[in-house]
Amino acid sequence: MKVKTWLALVGILALALVGCNSNPVYNVEGAPISTSTSGYSLRDVRDAIQQAGVSLGWQMKDVKPGLIVGTLVLRDHVAQIDIPYNRTSYSIIYRDSQNLNYDGVNIHSNYNGWIQRLNGAINAQLSRL
């Protein structure tokens, strides 16, 4: 009987540890663009977002005015995001992933760190406008 109890506890612990490595997907929605100037263009915003992404290893594709698709490939992990933007705000929205254990709500915790770093880099670039 003790062996069954021990195996059950080990199984529960293993499931708990697997769950610890994932979190709800982190999106940035409607982040305001703050800069000390007002004479910047939509193209300036696009360039700042692209520079921020490239500086962190993201492949940034200008799909159309107001939308960039970013792709990050690290080893066998792939994250893809949409970055809609205008002159006053931008968002970073989950698009797709590979090997990040996305289940429709949760994703590998590294993904959220990548998005938070990208958001910080975008804010830094935009503040220089």
Identity of residue 68 = I
**Residues paired with 83 in a beta bridge:** 68
Domain 24-127: give its CATH code. 3.30.310
- The whole model's pTM is what? 0.84
Model confidence pLDDT, tens digit, residues 6-55: 544 444 444 444 445 899 999 999 999 988 888 999 999 999 999 999 99
Question: Which residue ranges make up each domain of the chain?
Answer: 24-127
Model confidence pLDDT, tens digit, residues 71-112: 999 999 999 999 999 999 999 999 999 999 999 999 999 999
**The two three-digit tokens of residue 127, written as one number:** 């503040």
